[in-house]
Structures are given as C-alpha cells and as structure tokens.
Amino acid sequence: MKTILITGGAGFIGSGFAHYIYDKHPDYKIIVADALTYAGSVENFPVPIWKEHNERFEFWYGNVVNGELMDTLVSQCDYVVHFAAESHVTRSIYDNSQFFQTDVIGTQMVANSVCKYKERVRRFIHISSSEVYGTALTPEMSEDHPLNPMTPYAAAKAGADRLVYSYCQTYAIPAVIVRPFNNYGPRQHLEKAIPRFVTSVVLGEEIRVHGDGGMSRDFVHVEDNCEAIDMILHAPADKVTGEVFNVGTGQHRTIISIAEEIITRMNGDKSILTFADERPGQVSRHTADISKIGKLLGWKPKIGWQEGLEMTIKWYMENEDWWRKRLWLRDIPIVRADGKREFH
C-alpha cells in the first residue's frame, strides 16, 4: 500500500483530491493534515471519520507551520500533495498576516520535511496558483509568463512557488509546481464567485459584481484539476521533476456572463444583479496555455463548462445543509487605498 499526505485536505480542492484518490486508487492510504480554519471541514472528507475507523484514511488536525508534525507525517509518505493555504484574495486584502504565515512559512515547513525525507518521498506536488501571474500580458499565459502578483494572496503564493523551485535547484527535492486556474465544483466555500452566485439565486438575494463584471477568468472543474494532479503524481520523474504545469481550459469567460448564466439557468430574477466598486488589485484577465501538460502528459480537461456548471448548481441545490452555516462568511469588509470602507 502507498501512502499519500494531502495537506489542506479538508478544504475545497484538497477534499476533492482526497475523494478522487480514495476512489481511483484502492491501494493508497490517505493522510490528511489540516488546521480546520474557517475554510476547512471534516464534513468534506470521503469517509465519515466521526462514525467509523477506516484504515485507508487518517486525519491529523494540525498546522503546516508545525515542522515537527510535518516531519512525522512526511516521513511516512510516498507522495505529498500540498494544498493547505489561506486561499481567498479578498480576505488577503482585509488581513494578510495569516497568508504569509501559512502560504509561505507553511510551504517552507512542508518542503523542509520533504528535503529531510527525500529518500522516502517519491514526489512532492506543490499547489501554486494562476494568481501568481497577475493580469495576462499575452492572449494565453504559459508557464513562462512573468510573475506579477497583484494582491497579498498572490504575492504569498508566488513566494511559496519560487521557494519550492529554489529547493528543487538547491536540494534536488522531487518537487513539481502546479498552477491551477480558477477551480469550481462541489464543496467550494461561499466566499468564492460561483457558489456565492448560486446560493444568492436560491435565497433571492442581490448578487454583487465588482466593477462592470468585465474581468474574466479561466474556470476549470475541480475534478479535471484532480485528474491532472494525479497524472503529474504518477508521471515518469524525468518528465516532471522541477517543472511547472498550468492546469486550466484555455478559455476565459467574464464574471458578469457567469452571473447572468447562473440566474438564467436557475430561473432567477435578473434584477438581483448589482454592481460594486472594482476590487483593489483586480486581475483583468486570466487564460491558461495548457499546451505543456497536454504535450508532456496528454492531459486535457474533460468536463465542459455547461456540464460542469450544471453539476455544480445541482450539488448546491442538494446540499443546502452544507452551505447554510457558511453564509455569514460571504461578505468581507475591506478598506480601499483611498480609505473607503466597503463589503466585498
């Protein structure tokens, strides 16, 4: 049996990945390490740990900045996939202290443990983000696009991304850096756009779009992202070690078009759409160039936008108990550079 450590496995993508690995690799034991911040929940796990013992799934409630804990866990693992992070851009404008602590120092702690146990660990995947690129300077953004992080979240992720790269060069750790573009799907926190829009339509509440809603993103379904990470995890070392891979679709859509599409699909009332000031540090466009992962590993997304959006809406409609208790975390007070206070 192989053992895989998933940090941040109680959050949106990390838990999606835990489900994916649990179902796809019956010969793998999963260890999740998660500090259960406001963004994480044991309800997201593939097995109900509060009901039963399962020898394929172990949960450690703990913080990635705890180096001793990371040593204990990493030393038992064949694979490490590091998702744990503070992940919400707007929250990083409100208070960025935890972002640098978790996203940079936490990554350093995990990378230190991988370095210590690199004879044991076959592969370490660091989950970075397309946010490290800033606004697209080219029609599609390849892995060579300059890194121009525009918010504290993006800067912390860029720091962690380059930290892992430096450990590859200096200490030859078996690391790969993955830069997913915007993920969507089940169990995503209500602070993020698509779940916020869907739940607002259910509640008949206003949907607040920043600026004119013309900023656009490349949305990839979380299951496709998990498949890409799984392929990178199992690819021959000479193809992936020390490399960076984008994971996206190569298509972008505007936030306003997504809000309108969700309202239409759910038979909502268009008058719930309202507009607020642009978010500070807003990235105007993100579009992935996914040719590298396509050429090297043969990965391409399988879930089309229409299908993915329909599945996502269905999940939120069927899991109201899951999201109702998170409603209070949707609005974040920020202070703009000109001193103006507002909720985003």
- Say how far apart CA 200 and CA 179 lie, in whole Å: 29
Q: What is the token pair recorded at 241?
A: 């070690």
Closest CA to 133 of 125, 142, 122: 142
- Backbone φ, ψ for residue 289 (5° rounding): -95, 115
Q: What minimum distance in Å lies between the beta carbon of 49 and ligand NAD?
A: 14
CA-based angle 115:116:122, to the nearest 5?
A: 60
Is there binding between residue 13 and ligand NAD (CB under 6 A)? yes
DSSP strand E in the chain: where?
2-7, 28-34, 57-61, 79-82, 123-127, 175-180, 182-184, 207-210, 216-217, 219-221, 244-247, 253-254, 273-276, 333-335, 341-343
Q: What would the x/- binding string for ligand NAD be over residues 17 to 36, using CB under 6 A? A: -----------------xxx
Q: What would the x/- binding string for ligand NAD be over residues 89 to 108, using CB under 6 A? A: -------------x---x--
Q: What would the x/- binding string for ligand NAD be over residues 33 to 72, using CB under 6 A? A: -xxxx-xx----------------------xxx-------
Q: What minimum distance in Å lies between the beta carbon of 211 and ligand NAD?
A: 20
Residues constituting the chain: 344
Pick 265 or 326: Cβ nearer ligand NAD = 326
Is there binding between residue 83 and ligand NAD (CB under 6 A)? yes
Within 10 Å of residue 17's Cβ, how many Cβ atoms?
30
Q: What minimum distance in Å lies between the beta carbon of 271 and ligand NAD?
A: 29
Q: What would the x/- binding string for ligand NAD be over residues 184 to 213, using CB under 6 A? A: -----x------------------------
Site residues (CB under 6 A) for ligand NAD?
7-8, 10-14, 34-37, 39-40, 63-65, 83-87, 102, 106, 127, 129-130, 157, 180, 182-183, 189
